Copies of this chain bind each other. A is one copy, B any other.
């Protein structure tokens, strides 16, 4: 049976544009991986009439309705009231939920008002989805052939509530299990990747292969459905292996969060220390590396040398080199990496210098001209980049930092720096 899903989000803050509907995105991704077809996203405000109309339409066209938002006391539990009414259900007081709400307030030391307990009123006979990340419980029920799942709106609650509550409920609707792996690639564009896979993707049904692109990186999600976990894994493994063969060392990891994560983990495993010297990226490399909790076990620090003076005085780059080649050059990139390795006394140092725009630099380098470098015990390597002037400043900086991380993960894996 092929399910069709409507995601119905309730919240005036979405219609005012105060926030983007990231809940709908997160849910859509998760539901697609479960093999469910999301056909509609609908957003209405905290308005009972329009919420009722939206629910009555969703009932007719979808067989799974997932709502987000409208569960708290500030909107009088609009969503719960409207959904219960639409399916002819009463709301009944659930003592277990009330107890959880009371203890939540106790734990966080915030005062509880009476209307918080309204959140313990839930549709009769529903499955309660306990909320360990906030106060409003979610719930799920089936009626008139439609499955209804209600989740809280705040993304920090909606995400775990989907992952740990709604997903198991949805999986119980269908026989078998769903498992997936995410293959991460760097150094190939989305369209080039898709072109090499298109035919195959179209003919595959189990497992499926879905491409995603973001911030100059690509990923492929392989998802399989089977009677057991073991069977799902045995469906997945050949495809993962095949993708690895096809894209070779452009694959930087499977089921890993990011390039910088792979770099930090690799450094930790090999007991190496890391430092950075940044010109055009202006702190972004250090920032991304220290986004990883526990980065301090490998990352020692960095120098943001936004002026030639700091390149000379802090990184020790000879003035004649800056004069002869300019700050945006292969030579200075190498000297920055070597300087950082010395000044920060670390095993591996990465450097980036370039022209991030908006205008050409003093040496008339085009926007998008970048050099990233790595310095190690075994020597120094520089990768020149021509990223073009079309991407925005932010994007150029992100891609440049990623290229530097690519050098580091290649070093850690014993791969050639370029292929």
- Residues of the B chain whose Cβ atoms lie less than 8 Å from the Cβ of A301: 303-307, 310, 314
Residue of B nearest to A282 (CB): B290
A337 → B minimal CB distance (Å): 15
- Residues of the B chain whose Cβ atoms lie less than 8 Å from the Cβ of A212: 18
Type the 1/0 row for A268-298, where 1 means its CB is closer than 8 Å to any CB of B: 0000000010100111111111110101100
CB <8 Å contact, A282 and B293:
no
User: Does A358 have its Cβ within 8 Å of any Cβ on chain B?
Assistant: yes
User: Does A404 have its Cβ within 8 Å of any Cβ on chain B?
Assistant: no
Given the known interface contacts A15-B38, A22-B20, A41-B43, the answer about A300 and B309 at a Cβ–Cβ threshold of 8 Å is yes
Name which of A27-35, A237-245, A246-254 contacts chain B: A27-35
Given the known interface contacts A293-B393, A310-B300, the answer about A284 and B283 at a Cβ–Cβ threshold of 8 Å is yes
User: Does A45 have its Cβ within 8 Å of any Cβ on chain B?
Assistant: yes
User: Does A71 have its Cβ within 8 Å of any Cβ on chain B?
Assistant: no
- Residues of the B chain whose Cβ atoms lie less than 8 Å from the Cβ of A306: 286, 290, 295-296, 299-302
Residue of B nearest to A343 (CB): B314
- Residues of the B chain whose Cβ atoms lie less than 8 Å from the Cβ of A25: 14, 17, 19-21
Q: How far is the CA of A228 from the CA of B75 in the complex (A)?
A: 38
CB <8 Å contact, B304 and A304:
yes
A330 → B minimal CB distance (Å): 21
CB <8 Å contact, B357 and A393:
no
CB <8 Å contact, A20 and B20:
yes
A413 → B minimal CB distance (Å): 24
Given the known interface contacts A314-B301, A357-B293, the answer about A20 and B21 at a Cβ–Cβ threshold of 8 Å is yes
List of 5 A-B pairs having minimum Cβ-Cβ separation, nearest first: A282-B290, A283-B286, A17-B29, A17-B28, A41-B43
Residue numbers of A with Cβ under 8 A of B are 9, 14-22, 24-32, 38-45, 47, 50, 54, 57, 108, 156, 210, 212-213, 276, 278, 281-291, 293, 295-296, 299-307, 309-310, 313-314, 343-345, 357-358, 390, 392-394
Some 6 contacts from A to B, beta carbons below 8 A apart, are: A18-B29, A21-B41, A39-B50, A41-B42, A282-B286, A303-B303
